[in-house]
Each structure stands twice: as C-alpha cells, then as structure tokens.
Amino acid sequence: MKARNLPILVTLALFLIMFGGGSLAFIGFFSVQNFLNLFIDNSYLLILAVGMTFVIVSGGIDLSVGSVLALSTMVSSSLLAKSHLSPVLVIPIVLAMGTALGLFMGYLIQTFNLPPFIITLAGLYLARGLCYVVSIDTIAITNEFWKGAAHATVNLIGNNFVSPSVFIAVAVVLAGLFVMRYTRFGRNVYAIGGNEQSAVLMGLPVNHTKIAIYALSGFCSALAGIVFTFYTLSGYALHGKGMELDAIATVVIGGTLLTGGVGNLLGTVLGGLVYGIIQVLIVFQGTLNSWWTRIVIGFLVFVFCLLQRIFETGKSAALARERAKQAPKAQASS
C-alpha cells in the first residue's frame, strides 16, 4: 500500500524542495499568490493531463491532445468571431467536436485493433490540418463573455486570487478523481491497463471502455482548448504545439506508469505543479533562456522513469523473496 504511493510522495517532495529552494533563492518567490499562479498558468495543461492520465493508465497513449486543443481554439474563435454564435452554443459544439474526434480514434483503435500510437499520431496531423482549413491566420475573439472569463478574477483569502479557469480545472480533477475511484468505468480503466486480455475474459466491457477513454481524452482536450482561449483570446493553428508531450510528461512525473495499470490523478496534479514551478524558477532566474525548461523537464522525466525502473525491479525481487517465504506458510494455514 505504502509502496504504491511512493512515486507520489517523491513528486510531492520534489515540488516542496523546488518551491522551498525558489523561496530561499529569490525574493518575492514565496507567496500564496505565486502558488496559486501555478494553477492559473497551467489550468489547461491540468485538464489535458486528466484525460491523458485515463489514457495512459489504460495502457494507451494519446498524441493528438495538443492538436485537438488547437482545433478547439480555432473552432470556438471562428464560431464566435465569424459566425457570431452565442457562447451558449459554441461551448457545447466545441466540446462535442473534441469528444467526437476522440470517439473516432478510439473506435479505430479498438474495433480494428490498431496501435494507439499511430492512430492518435494521425489524429495529431488531422486536427492540426483541420485548423488550417478553418483559417491560416490568427482569429481574435472579441466576445464579451470570453473577455469576461479571460479577465475575471475570484478573490480567495487575503488579496490572493484565481481565475475562473482554475475552477474549471479543479472541477475536472475532482470529477476525474471520483470517476477513477468510485465508478465501474474508472476501475475498468485500471483493469484494462493491468491486463487487457484478463479484462476481456473477466467479462468487462473492454471495447466500450477503451473507446470511451479516448472520447474522454478528446473531451478534455476540447475543454482545455476553450480554457486556453480564455488566456489568449484567439484561435491559432499553432496553439498548443508540442503540448501532447507536456501532458505526457506531467502524467509521468506524477507517478503514472506508462506501461499502464498504475497511476493517480493526485499525482498528475502534483506533476503539473512541478512542471509549472520549473517554468517559474527559470523566469525568476532570469539569465537562462526559456528552452532550459524543456531540458529540465526531459531530465525529470528521465529521473522518474529511472525511479520507476528501480522500483519495479526492486518489487519483483521482493516478490520472489516473498513467494519463497509464503509457500510453506500457505501450507500451514490451509
């Protein structure tokens, strides 16, 4: 039980060390607002990562999320600016579109037994290409509701505030936590990630679950796209470029195994915070160019994967020892 939580504790420790280190090194780093900013600046990433956690725990991968995010910024800005549709219509349309894209990819993957890597990779192309079909140029959003969402702040204790996006992200995380822990669907995701063939033979609805997982990831990507436009107030085909990897990195740093079956959304949130604080640290440091973020993230992914490897080999060795001990014990108990 404890061993299972170890990766999350490592991520938590890492975050605390980074936050503490930053607070000691830089004046003005340590503040509640700076902590809240991590959520404000990364809320769309968290939303993407929630969907990605489901996919990765099920043993799959979704490379299309960054592009679907971009497509959803394009479609929403185009519908708002060019078709002058009301946000009440735009938001459901965009969410339905993202879900449909995910549904489509999930259907191909599951029904025809195709590799998720290739199908979602093609999805990456498809969504990015569709962006250009909508428009080659940036589309600015001038809709009042959107502007309101972009500029609104909600005061918390003291003078500290968060943006409405944070509430959306937190709601998504909480809903994700509930689904993963307390619904049959969520548990089926773990079962499929643990051993898909077993899941089939146990009579679990593997087909529907897997298709639903990709649909869910598509939904999260579309929602993240809407949230993203709250920051940029624009739709642009190059938004979210490479963000699929940020999402994957966030999930991995959060302790989810890329082999599937093991993972936790709390870890993913911590992973997102670690991701955010690296960026903040580099900004505070001042002299390093922002591309160091990538190198540091790459390094962290390396460290975490290494830890998981050591953890795995350690566990299988412990298991062998346990088995050796258990055989005579089992005899005695029966």
Partner 1 sequence: MAGEEAWGMSESTPILEMRKINKHFPGVKALSDVDFRLFPGEVHAIMGQNGAGKSTLVKVLTGVYKQDSGEMLLEDRPIRPDSPLAAQKLGISTVYQEINLCPNLSVAENIFVGRQPLSLGRIDWGQLNRRAVEALKRLNVSVDVTQMLSSYSIAIQQMVAIVRVLDVSSRILILDEPTSSLDEAEVEQLFKVIRKLRDDGLAILFITHFLDQTYRISDRITILKNGEFVGEYRTETLPKLDLIARMLGKELSEFSFAMAGEDRKKESQKAGQDARSLLAVKDLGLRGAIAPFSLSLDEGDVLGLAGLLGSGRTEMARLIFGIDSANQGEILVKGRKTNIKAPRSAMLAGMGFCSEDRKSEGIFAELTVRENIVLALQGRKGTFRYIPKKKQLEIADELIKSLAIKTPGANNEAGQLSGGNQQKLMLARWLATNPIILILDEPTRGIDVGAKLEIMELILNLSRQGMGVIFISSEFEEVIRCSTRVAVLKDKVKIAELSGEQMSESNIMHTIAGGR
Partner 2 sequence: MLAWKRLSRSKIIWPLITLGILMLFNLFFTPNFFRIEMLEGHLFGNLIDILKNGAPIMILAIGLTLVIATHGIDISVGSVVAISAGVVAMLIGGDLAGNPKYPIAFAMGAALVACIAAGMWNGMLVSWIGMQPIIATLILFVAGRGIAMVTTNAMVIWLYAKPFALLGQGYLFGLPFSLYIVAFLLLATYLVTRRTAVGMFIEAVGINPKATRFAGINARGILFWCYAFSGLCAGVSGLVVCSTVMSADGNNAGNLAELDAILAVVLGGTSLNGGRFFLLGSMVGALIIQTLTTTIYAFNVAPEIAQVVKALVVYAVSLLQSETFRARVAGMFARREVAA
- Residue 118 found at the interface with partner 2 (CB under 8 A): yes
From the list 52, 11, 36, 9, the residue with the least C-alpha distance to 246 is 52
Task: Please state, in angstroms and rounded to a whole number, the distance separating the CA atoms of residues 141 and 30.
Answer: 35
Q: Which does 82 bind (CB under 5 to 8 A by kind): partner 1, partner 2, none?
A: none
- Residue 187 found at the interface with partner 2 (CB under 8 A): no
Decide: helix, strand or coil at residue 162: strand
Cβ-based nearer residue to partner 1, 1 or 88 = 1
Q: Is 204 exposed, middle or buried (0-12, 13-18, 19+ CB in 10 A)?
A: middle
- Residue 292 found at the interface with partner 2 (CB under 8 A): yes
Q: Which of 22, 193, 254, 267 binds partner 1 (CB under 8 A)?
A: 193
In the complex, least distance from residue 4 CB atom to partner 1, rounded to whole angstroms: 7
Q: How many CB atoms sit inside 10 A of residue 266's CB?
A: 16
Written as six digits, the tokens of 323 are: 């088995």
Cβ-based nearer residue to partner 2, 108 or 215 = 108
Q: Give 172's strand partners.
A: none
Give the binding range for partner 2 (CB under 8 A) out of 32-40, 80-88, 117-125, 165-173. Answer: 117-125
Q: Give 140's strand partners.
A: 234
- Residue 230 found at the interface with partner 1 (CB under 8 A): no
Give the binding range for partner 1 (CB under 8 A) out of 62-70, 107-115, 147-155, 203-211. Answer: 203-211
- Residue 137 found at the interface with partner 1 (CB under 8 A): no
Written as six digits, the tokens of 84 are: 């002058």
Residues 52-91 interacting with partner 2 (rule: CB under 8 A): 61
Q: Which of 126, 172, 262, 277 binds partner 2 (CB under 8 A)?
A: 126
In the complex, least distance from residue 114 CB atom to partner 2, rounded to whole angstroms: 5
Q: Which does 193 bind (CB under 5 to 8 A by kind): partner 1, partner 2, none?
A: partner 1
Q: What is the DSSP track for 238-297?
A: TTTTTHHHHHHHHHHHTT--TTSS---HHHHHHHHHHHHHHHHHHHHH-SS-TTHHHHHH
Task: Please state, in angstroms and rounded to a whole number, the distance separating the CA atoms of residues 88 and 198.
Answer: 43
Residues 250-279 interacting with partner 1 (rule: CB under 8 A): 261-262
Q: Which does 245 bind (CB under 5 to 8 A by kind): partner 2, partner 1, none?
A: partner 2
Amino acid at 13: A
Task: Please state, in angstroms and rounded to a whole number, the distance separating the CA atoms of residues 2 and 6.
Answer: 6
Task: Please state, in angstroms and rounded to a whole number, the distance separating the CA atoms of residues 225 and 70.
Answer: 6
Query: What's the alpha-carbon Rg for the chain, to the nearest Å?
Result: 21
- Residue 147 found at the interface with partner 2 (CB under 8 A): no
Cβ-based nearer residue to partner 2, 83 or 289 = 289
Cβ-based nearer residue to partner 2, 74 or 199 = 74
Tokens 């002058």: give the residue: 84
CB 33 within 8 A of CB 59: no
Written as six digits, the tokens of 44 are: 């769309």
**Judged by CB under 8 A, how many residues of this single chain contact partner 2?**
46
Residues 6+ apart with CB under 8 A from 92: none
Residues in the chain, how many?
334
Q: Which residues bind partner 1 (CB under 8 A)?
A: 1, 4, 178, 181-184, 187-188, 190-191, 193-195, 197-199, 201-205, 261-262, 317, 319-324, 326-328, 330-331, 333-334
Question: Residue numbers of the site for partner 2 (CB under 8 A)?
Answer: 61, 108, 111-115, 117-119, 121-126, 128-133, 136, 237, 245, 248-249, 252, 258-259, 289-295, 297-299, 301-302, 305-306, 309, 313
